[in-house]
Amino acid sequence: MRDRIFYSICFGFIFGVLLRSLFFIDLYFTIAFVGIAFALLLFFSFISISKWGIAGAIFVLAFSLGICRYSISDNPPPPQLEELVGISSEFRGIVTEAPEFRENSQKLIVETIDIDIDTEKTKILVTVGFDEEFHYGDELSVRGTLEKPENFVTDQGKDFDYINYLKKDGILYLINYAEVEILSEDNGSNIKQSLFTVKDQFLEQISFVIRSPESLLLGGLILGEKSAFSQELRQDFINTGTIHIVALSGYNVTIVAEWIMKMFYFLPLMWSFVAGILGILLFVIMAGGQSTAVRAGTMAVLALFARATGRNYDVARILILVGVFMIIWNPLVLVHDVSFQLSFIATVAVIFYAPRIEKYFNWMPKKLGLRDMLAVTTACYIFVLPFVLYKMGNLSLVALPANVLVLPFIPPIMLLGFLTGFLGIIWYGLSVPFGYGAYLLLDYQLYVINLLANVPFATFSLPSFPLWIVVIIYFYFIYFLFGKSIKSFFYDTPI
């Protein structure tokens, strides 16, 4: 009965958030629904006792609470700023995240501090040139034309929901190529400021030792810093299905943590597991403590724990619970955050699907964990492919060989990269040998990606891959992995 209650609460809440993400539902109607759910719960608990009735009432209650949680977070734009849209305006604000560098510009997330708004402070995405250097915590005076984001069509012909993509991070407005003046510095959190400082120094030392574009790739592998890539290089990653290696995902971090565990295989399992956890913690710190990195690190810890102990069933419940807490914290990530969705899908593949297909790779030697790496790579590729086809409309015929040729070298590259950055902070000379080793492996990866990206018919655009096919595929995956557990849940679970 406890399992039924647990899953009723979790999935009821998730489906409530999902429905409210797609359709508007009046909050008063939802509150009335909560009352009905309470009445049903009391009825099936004390009058007509039924375990399925109790589970159903709890599901409806959690479903209603999911709708309420999304509605509370779905705040309307402040009327004071709505009146300024399309008008040249000036305001003061604080930079709340590290600047994001693009090929020809840098983007700042600025939170207003001088506008009389009753609701929460509003975030604005400000685009500026490279004339001045900005940091987290800078207080700025910003002048420019306030605009609202608009959805657009990608190169693959997919409609991109840019409005909600920004809204999930609290960003409601844009100012392109604004006039910006720094008024003061160090106005943010001291902890976050320290994390970003370490990150900046780390990337700076890497760029001293390793030239571009290899240094950019290393920054992407370690910290997800892909924003400064050229459009051509970014497209090569997309065409070969390897763009995920430069994203902050639980999949990437899990691979690194597993290799750290393998490096300490001579220690007891608990100590090697602790070493893996410390590697994940280091990653989160180096990424500046960004929410995406925290989510990826959390998913990686779960995958690591499951694969180290073999307790997949227990980890499955923890994984669901962690996902629910993330959605409670920010309901918009469920539908509008591709990074969260990919991390969750890849983590399920690593924990549950990779062990199922590892037997098909017995021809691959176990040395250096190559068999395990190939199984994990293939499992993740198969699992995320339907989602990628629907969300991004890009089918790469060279993705699997590209990943097989590239992924085994990521852990040693990241290890050499960490040593290059940290030792460079101490003294440049110490970092050079490790930087040269990382450079050779990075150059090999770029060569493979460039070679496969230019294979004729390497990639196809599928702008209208049907959602119903994706749903059917993932229902099959769920049945394949959890069919026996589902049957046991419905028919054999005792009260």
Q: In whole angstroms, what is the distance from residue 7 CA to residue 403 CA?
A: 35
Residue 117: per-residue pLDDT: 46
Beta strands in 27-177 (DSSP E): 88-95, 100-101, 106-112, 123-128, 139-145, 152-153, 159-160, 171-176
Average pLDDT for the chain: 79
What pLDDT is stored for residue 435 in this prediction? 87
Matching residue, tokens 């510095």: 185
Tokens of residue 196, six digits: 């970003």
Give the contacts of 397 (CB within 8 A, at least 6 positions apart). 457, 458, 459, 460
Residue 242 makes CB contacts below 8 A (sequence gap 6+) with: 399, 402, 403, 406, 449
| pLDDT tens readout for residues 119-134 | 457 888 998 888 788 8
Q: What is the pLDDT of residue 495?
A: 39
Q: What is the pLDDT of residue 17?
A: 92
N-to-C CA span, the chain: 5
Three-class DSSP category at 110: strand
Residues whose CB falls within 8 Å of the CB of residue 429, separated by 6 or more in sequence, listed in order: none
pLDDT in tens, 238-266: 888 777 676 656 556 666 666 666 666 66
Query: For 137, which DSSP code?
Result: T
Q: List % helix, strand, coil for the chain (3-state, nearest 5).
A: 65, 10, 25
Spatial contact of 176 and 144, defined as CB atoms under 8 Å apart: yes
Helices (H), 145-268: 162-167, 190-209, 214-223, 231-239, 250-263
What is 252-309 written as a DSSP string? HHHHHHHHHHHHTTTS-HHHHHHHHHHHHHHHHHHTTT-HHHHHHHHHHHHHHHHHHH
d(CA 460, CA 490): 42
Measure the CA–CA gap between 402 and 167, rounded to whole angstroms. Answer: 34
Q: How far is CA 21 from CA 27, 60, 71, 316, 323, in A?
A: 13, 17, 9, 25, 16
C-alpha to C-alpha distance for 263 and 418, rounded to whole angstroms = 15
- pLDDT, position 187: 83
- Tokens 């290696």 belong to which residue? 245
Show pLDDT as tens, one digit a residue, over the chain (495 residues): 667 788 788 888 999 999 988 888 877 777 887 888 888 777 777 776 667 677 788 888 889 889 988 988 887 788 778 888 888 888 888 988 888 877 778 888 898 886 554 445 788 899 888 878 888 888 888 888 888 888 888 776 777 888 888 888 888 899 888 888 888 888 877 877 777 777 778 778 888 888 878 888 887 777 666 555 677 777 888 888 777 676 656 556 666 666 666 666 666 767 777 777 777 777 676 665 566 667 667 777 776 676 666 665 567 777 788 888 889 988 988 888 887 887 788 778 877 888 888 788 777 766 666 677 777 778 877 888 888 888 877 778 888 888 878 877 777 887 788 888 878 877 878 888 888 888 899 899 889 988 998 888 778 777 778 888 988 998 888 888 877 766 665 655 443
